[in-house]
Amino acid sequence: MKTLGAALVLSSLLAGAGLAPTQAAHAGTSRADDPAVGSPEYVARDTQNIADAYGRVTDQQLGDPAYLPALVQQGTAVGVAQLLEQVATPDRPSVTPGAFVPGWNVGNPFRAAWDGTRGRMRDVSFTNRYGALLRGTLYAPLPRARDPYTGKRIKGRLPGVVITEGSVQGSEGMYRWLAQDLAERGYLVLTYDVQGQGTSETLPHDGTLNGVPSQQIDNFVVGTEDALSFFTSTPRTPYPDHGAGDLVDAHNPWHRRFDRRPDRRPNAAGRTTRIAIIGHSLGAAAVTQVQGTDERVSTVVALDKLGLSTSSGTDGGDAFEPVVPALAVQSEYGFTVGPWFAAGGSSITPQPSPQGPDPRRERATGYDAWRDAGVDSMLVVPRASTHLEYTDIPLVLPASRWGQALTSAYVQRWLEHYLKHRTSVRTLLATKMRYLEPTSSGEWVPVVLRRDPLLSFYYCSAMHLGRGAIDDGDLTDVGC
């Protein structure tokens, strides 16, 4: 709450100086040429950027009087359901904030009406290889649904997406925004809690302490691999229950909706299964690793960061082989927001930077390795973004106003090309994108996202697409 208070004070001071965060009808405003490092103009711009890094709290959550009542109502409903779930499985305890802290696993309360109106959700349970009970959710379009962006009927079976959450007690409800956005566009999506997070079990059942503590890369790799196995399971090839019996689903209950036809246009040799994996934070490091070894993966999306070295601050330093096309959405700030002269190192572990931020910092954490390997890749760095852009957390922690929307728009376009093969790669070059955003009225309203003002003016965004036919290492001329 101290962080939030500081943000509100800062916003008030900026407003008095004529520098209040924008709330335009179109997301984003044009920016002037970069001022000299350390100049008054540079400091003023940096101060504005810091304030904008709290935009989701100040503009979207506290700025809408309907948000708090909706949060209380939905938080109460989710909390009671989770407590009853714990009571029903006393020998499978989830000792986590996601299970017991009100509001932790709610996500955006304005999305509460999505199930049954824009798509379908179904709770699932399975065990990881250590016998720990993992809980998750499947998302799919409504029967005979139409794509809300194109109006076209969603027909046939669906490509799959598995989303692995972030560490430091991330929980699947925080990623409902992306699962819902993808499901209503024609994907079958699985979110889940890794062992020791959210509502999943804390301890294993194999006579060891495997998966404890939860905050380790192996736990997220195991979670991703086992979630893929559950997602692809059927009555003929059931998922092993590892002794959980009736507590788990024997197989993916919506297995018939998954498109199992071999992809005739694979993104890499032998990668013919139509599944994308998406991860955040330590989950991003995990999916970076899994894409290199698991032949079921067709493409990967890493949300802060696509990490190949310890410079990313999110992995153990192992070098992973780039195999499938990768979209990296990475942030300017970490868990906290700091001034320009403390932007050295990585966003997760900042260090002094008296010369100003290094514009190549985010490229170096993974994108450059993908490009050097000749594998299609794209790096998007939203302006004023924090490590928490990709989680729906109420009120307390910093995130920008438009980072989540921009992320979803790019993920949708990325998967439309690399998983469905229905669009040209050039759709990823668009400088304007539409996004449907939920509101307190229960409606999803369109906003226009203007790319260049919404990308970082500190760190380069980049793309290497079409096997090098499109190669731009600095989309908005930051200085790479």
Query: How many residues does this entry show for the chain?
Result: 480
Beta carbons of 136 and 192 less than 8 angstroms apart: yes
Beta carbons of 382 and 456 less than 8 angstroms apart: yes
Task: Look at residue 100 in the predicted model and tell me its pLDDT.
Answer: 81
Reduced to 3 states, what is the DSSP secondary structure of residue 136? strand
Helices (H), 101-256: 176-183, 217-231
Beta carbons of 275 and 159 less than 8 angstroms apart: yes
Share of the chain above pLDDT 90, in %: 79
426 pLDDT higher than 60: yes
Task: Look at residue 99 in the predicted model and tell me its pLDDT.
Answer: 84
Q: Give the residue-averaged pLDDT of 1-30.
A: 38
Task: Look at residue 22 in the predicted model and tell me its pLDDT.
Answer: 35
- Does residue 305 have a cis bond before it (omega within 30 degrees)? yes
> Within a 10 A sphere around the Cβ of 216, how many other Cβ atoms?
15
The pTM assigned to this predicted structure is 0.92
195 pLDDT higher than 90: yes
Task: Look at residue 204 in the predicted model and tell me its pLDDT.
Answer: 94
Reduced to 3 states, what is the DSSP secondary structure of residue 181? helix
Residue type, 372: D
User: In this predicted model, what pLDDT tens digit does every residue of 448-474 receive, in sequence order?
Assistant: 999 999 999 999 999 999 999 999 999
Beta carbons of 383 and 453 less than 8 angstroms apart: yes
Name the β-bridge partners of 137.
Answer: 123, 191
User: In this predicted model, what pLDDT tens digit does every residue of 300-319 receive, in sequence order?
Assistant: 999 999 985 433 334 444 56
Q: Dihedral of the CA atoms 193, 323, 347, 429 (nearest 10)?
A: -100
User: In this predicted model, what pLDDT tens digit does every residue of 45-82 receive, in sequence order?
Assistant: 999 999 999 999 999 999 999 999 999 999 999 988 88
The conformational region for residue 404 under phi > 0 = left, psi -120 to 50 = alpha, else beta, is alpha
Task: Look at residue 318 in the predicted model and tell me its pLDDT.
Answer: 56
Axis crossing angle, helix 403-418 with helix 176-183, rounded to the nearest 10: 40
User: In this predicted model, what pLDDT tens digit does every residue of 202-259 receive, in sequence order?
Assistant: 999 999 999 999 999 999 999 999 999 999 999 999 999 888 999 999 999 999 999 9
Q: Dihedral of the CA atoms 413, 166, 161, 236 (nearest 10)?
A: 170
29 pLDDT higher than 80: no
Q: Please tell me the chain's helix, strand, coil percentages from 3-state DSSP, rounded to the nearest 5.
A: 30, 15, 50
CA distance 284 to 302: 5
Helices (H), 211-334: 217-231, 282-291
User: In this predicted model, what pLDDT tens digit does every residue of 314-369 receive, in sequence order?
Assistant: 444 456 899 999 999 999 999 999 999 999 999 988 999 999 999 999 999 999 99
Half-sphere exposure in the Cβ direction for 159 (13 Å, CA): 25
Task: Look at residue 237 in the predicted model and tell me its pLDDT.
Answer: 97
